[in-house]
Amino acid sequence: MQLAERDFIVGGHKIGTIPFYTDIDPILEAHKPGTRVLPAAFFYERGGHFELIKRHEPGEYALMPNGGFEVSADGGSRRYYDLNQVIVHPAVAKHRQALDLMERKEEKDERARARDIERNSRPKVEGGRRGRPAMDPAVKAQLEADKAQRASKSGGKRGRPKSELVSTPKTPKAPGAPGGKRGRKPLDPSIREARAREAVVRTAKSGGKRGRPKRG
């Protein structure tokens, strides 16, 4: 049994690789549901538990015309793999060759280095956040200068700056000065007295009761 990789191409561009097994030993072929299995993508990963739900032969399952495996992962999620991407877990089958391959750290490290080289070789997009083009240095310097000037004027305080116009202080109102509410002009004394007399007459007619008088 060997582990290999093929290119994963979308729209004519390679965006990664897909691991798979070659020369699978018959003892590692998964058939029985509930068996612990190991997808090729997780061959070098420690931990994780996968169980076979069902093996689909070519032509049995419409969604997998070439056949494949239906596998349950940790947390109860389901994953689907090709027939050459899943084997019985070597620890279950006690397959010494596969176990040695899993523990072969040099090969694992080499694959990790190759992945890092491929990742670092991809062109990086320069610019601000979320793909924004970088700001011109002259524009950025001007914005910083304007910001510093505003800060010096306000003393670091935020909000509308205090007006520089000198307002005339208001003359305090003398105690007991006549005047209506909310700035109304005071009533003429003769009008005030006439209203007071009318109020006395209304009170005498109603006997001090308020509201419309009863019809007599």
- What is the pTM assigned to this prediction? 0.45
pLDDT band at 39 (very low <50, low <70, confident <90, very high): very high
Q: Which long-range contacts (CB under 8 A, 24 or more apart) does 154-159 make?
A: none
Give the model's pLDDT for residue 129: 55
3-class state of residue 15 by DSSP: strand
Q: What is the mean pLDDT of residues 177-183?
A: 59
The Cβ-side half-sphere exposure at 13, using a 13 Å CA radius, reads: 3
Q: What is the mean pLDDT of residues 188-194?
A: 89
pLDDT at 171 exceeding the cut of 90: no
* CB within 8 Å of 61: residues ≥ 6 apart: 67, 68
Give the model's pLDDT for residue 210: 72
pLDDT band at 128 (very low <50, low <70, confident <90, very high): very low
E strands within 11-126? 13-22, 36-39, 50-56, 68-72, 78-81, 86-88
